[in-house]
A = this chain, B = another copy of it.
């Protein structure tokens, strides 16, 4: 087994520093031992190869020290690429992809066949043991057609239930489950679903300790131009107020909503972290300060 030791590191750390770090990480390794962590993977961290390698290494590390890791992913850009390749235009309604039957087929192929299995392969190459799944396996994710006023989105689904059994089986058998976010309807039809929402529902269904959304931002900032104003911890009851103040706005709103949903459904904490920094997952897990913004 070869573990990718993050070639993005240059310096050398003394044995004493090594010892000190291990000593500090100790309570966290213990705290999360045998707990389940759901990582929603997306954005830059999914495209940049170096960042991807760092994420894979982090997940393998977490699983090696006894943490149960679940990786949930979407795959918007690769879907658009493929649609373009077959000469089909992507069409968005209210920011959501209009998904006709042919599009849904492409979504399924790309998510469950390409992105999912590539992630599995990367994890295996980095020394992990991983199994890829999608919402159809074991009938894991159930959905109905999303009904929003004024727009028919085609096969875009609204998650109604998550059966944690296939995920728990994989964890019990020693694998990192990698989950492509699709769902199955009552009559066997397949739905495209939002990956953040799916991650939140999965985290709740398997009783996860923590949900982490990898994003392309630093976290919640009081002053959006000053990263020093990062808000490290938010109680979910404060969220409406932060929305009113405009601190949570735009593309952040649905992400925060997922975090709130997860916490409301029993997940101990949900964090929005910066996928542009290598190993931000490890830092979030193994330091008091963490990184990004944690909802609890």
Contacts and interface: CB of A to CB of B under 8 A. Distances in A.
B26 A64 contact: yes
How many copies of this protein are present in the complex? 6
Interface in A83-134: 85-86, 105, 108-114, 116-117, 120-122, 124-125, 127, 129-134
Given A3-B26, A188-B121, A19 B278 contact: yes
Nearest to A133: B131
Contact of A85 (B15, B23, B86): B86
A117 to B, nearest CB: 5
Nearest to A178: B137
Interface stretch (A195-203, A238-246, A283-291): A283-291
B109 A114 contact: yes
Contacts of A131: 133, 137-138, 166
A132 B15 CA distance: 31
A232 interface: no
A29 interface: yes
A48 interface: no
A127 B19 CA distance: 17
A30 interface: yes
Interface of A: 1, 3, 5-6, 9, 11, 13, 15-27, 29-30, 33, 57-58, 60-61, 64-66, 82, 85-86, 105, 108-114, 116-117, 120-122, 124-125, 127, 129-134, 136-139, 165-166, 169-170, 173, 175, 182, 184, 188, 190, 278-279, 282-283, 286-287, 289, 291
